[in-house]
Amino acid sequence: MPDPGLTTSTAARPLTVCDEDEQLFRETVRRFARQEIGPRVRAMDEGSKFDPGLLRQCFELGLMGIEIPEEYGGPGGTFTQALIAIEELAAVDPSAAVIVDVQNTLVNNAILRWGTPEQKRRWLPRLASDTIGAYALSEAGAGSDAFALAARAEEVEGGFRLTGRKLWITNAQEAVLFLVFANARPEAGYKGITCFVVERTAAGFAVGRKEDKLGIRASSTCELILDGVMVAREDVLGEVGKGYKIAIETLNEGRIGIGAQMAGLAAGALEHAVAYAKQRKQFGKAISEFQAVRMELARMATDVETARLLVYNAARLRESGKPFLKEAAMAKYWASQVAETVASRAVEVFGGAGFTRDYPVEKFYRDAKIGRIYEGTTNMQLLTVARQVLA
């Protein structure tokens, strides 16, 4: 059946993240998402694989290294521009959004902030041009308790030997560069955690089973196997024992990115619901003319706007160098809740049709669930907010 939802102008314009006009940047990302990604969403979801051609286009358009400075081959954009891209991609396909999100807010930002000049020269040009990165923190026993890591880094001549397993690693199937967290000094507890940059070709390193997921199915989520992986000392990111600090600071920023993803998802679901309500007729008129439907759409629109405002307020604080921990947690918590409720309501606006795969809202509903789980569960965000409020 035809999709009554997202439409856009077909006017072509090269994308550049150096545009000073953020609205113009938003429009060009939106056009790319709807024209290029949109037609492939269903096939990618059903095949559980992101189109490699689209990944190449994301690199060509500068979306995989938005904040990477021009001296390292990036476009030298802003954190807010990264959020704009994530939001607009999510309105079409949340899988595309999380691929871009992890690359920008976690991997690139960690290297930009903690990398030595030599590390930046080695890795940032690759991440900006053709190399997917992954952020390997989680383990079977280290979810919300992120620092209960079992992976070990044994110091040996010339560097470190990594052993252990990582789980639920986004981008793992496509990634070439991995930020791997392991404990180099277990006796020191979380103060022994260290971040290592590991290439996919390293001996003893393997990407294991890919998860078969409810939603964001085109985004790969896999386990990593570390079987005596040798890492040179110069491939330690930051300092030995400072991995916990890298993880905390990058995840605080990453949660704003997840907020943008969920706000974009909700906006996409709302737009489909509005378009369908205008065309679907019952009792001789469009269902958008019934007060109950109009009120429901109004509530959905209000929720979407509040989520977006929280996200961009957190981004504003981050870019101005002010504390943003509470605001990032609020944005992630609220946007993920809004995404789930708005996507659910969108299914209801579609009625029985919304429960089928003939229309896109059922996919938004499936994709929304992960927002309350990854990069810090809803409960963890609420605890963070409470600590800040009660301080």
Asked if residue 260 has pLDDT above 60, the reply is yes
**Eight-state DSSP code of residue 346:** H
pLDDT of residue 20: 54
pLDDT of residue 345: 98
Asked if residue 364 has pLDDT above 90, the reply is yes
Asked if residue 145 has pLDDT above 70, the reply is yes
Please provide the average confidence, as pLDDT, over all residues in the chain.
Answer: 94
Residue 280 φ/ψ, nearest 5 degrees? -75, 125
Asked if 42 and 88 touch (Cβ cutoff 8 Å), the reply is no
Distance between CA 298 and CA 350 in Å, rounded? Answer: 16
Domains and CATH numbers, the chain: 22-131 (1.10.540.10), 134-241 (2.40.110.10), 245-390 (1.20.140.10)
348: confidence class by pLDDT, cuts 50, 70, 90: very high
Other CB atoms closer than 10 Å to residue 7's CB: what's the count? 11
9: confidence class by pLDDT, cuts 50, 70, 90: very low
**Which residue from 139, 109, 135, 136 is spatially nearest to 124, judged by alpha carbons?**
109
**Eight-state DSSP code of residue 211:** P
Distance between CA 138 and CA 179 in Å, rounded? Answer: 11
Residues 255-268: what's their mean pLDDT? 98
233: confidence class by pLDDT, cuts 50, 70, 90: very high
**223 classed as catalytic:** no
Q: What is the pTM (predicted TM-score) of this model?
A: 0.94
Distance between CA 154 and CA 184 in Å, rounded? Answer: 6
pLDDT of residue 2: 40
91: confidence class by pLDDT, cuts 50, 70, 90: very high
